[in-house]
């Protein structure tokens, strides 16, 4: 009977777990961002927030959270900190005060130029061929959409 409990299927091997491979890669990628972002006063989460705002400035907090896959409990304190640092402004919508609009300050816009080297530096860090990186990115985007759709089906 003890042997039945100890029986181990291939599906339970750690190396066969997609989630484990994603976890390790994510953790290591964020660790490699740190020395690039620290001199700029950014965390990885504030950096991706800035990237989203550089693409589309003047967005509602709810839209920004959807774009970043962050809930308001994570995003609101981050945006308050970024506002204190002078990177963004948080303003209530005049028509509906429940809606908060996030806009970049000049300092926030200027930071984009200071971050221009980061994507290339990180691409070199990954040691992936360009074609492989594009394939992995496409697969991950598909996975993200599938997971989000599955979550919205459960709501």
pLDDT single digits (tens) 2-50: 555 556 678 889 989 999 999 999 999 999 999 999 999 999 999 999 9
Can you give the pLDDT at residue 51?
98
Report which DSSP code applies to 127. T
pTM of this prediction exceeds 0.75: yes
pLDDT > 90 in the chain, percent: 73
Task: Report the mean per-residue pLDDT for the chain.
Answer: 90
Separation between Cα atoms, residue 96 and residue 18, nearest integer Å: 43
Separation between Cα atoms, residue 51 and residue 45, nearest integer Å: 10
Nearest to 66 by CA among 83, 49, 81: 49
Q: Answer yes or no: is pLDDT of 151 > 80.
A: no
């Amino acid at each position: 009977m003890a042997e039945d409990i100890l029986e181990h299927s291939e599906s339970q091997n750690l190396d066969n777990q997609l989630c484990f491979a994603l976890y390790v890669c994510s953790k290591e990628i964020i660790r490699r961002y740190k020395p690039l972002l620290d001199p700029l006063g950014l965390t990885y989460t504030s950096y991706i927030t800035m990237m989203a705002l550089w693409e589309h400035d003047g967005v509602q907090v709810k839209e920004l959270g959807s774009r970043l896959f962050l809930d308001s409990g994570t995003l609101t304190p981050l945006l308050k900190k970024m506002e204190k640092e002078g990177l963004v402004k948080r303003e209530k919508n005049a028509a509906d005060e429940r809606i908060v609009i996030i806009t970049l300050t000049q300092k926030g816009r200027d930071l984009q130029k200071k971050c221009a080297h980061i994507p290339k530096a990180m691409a070199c860090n990954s040691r992936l061929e360009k074609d492989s990186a594009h394939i992995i990115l496409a697969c991950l985007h598909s996975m993200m959409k599938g997971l989000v759709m599955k979550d919205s089906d459960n709501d």
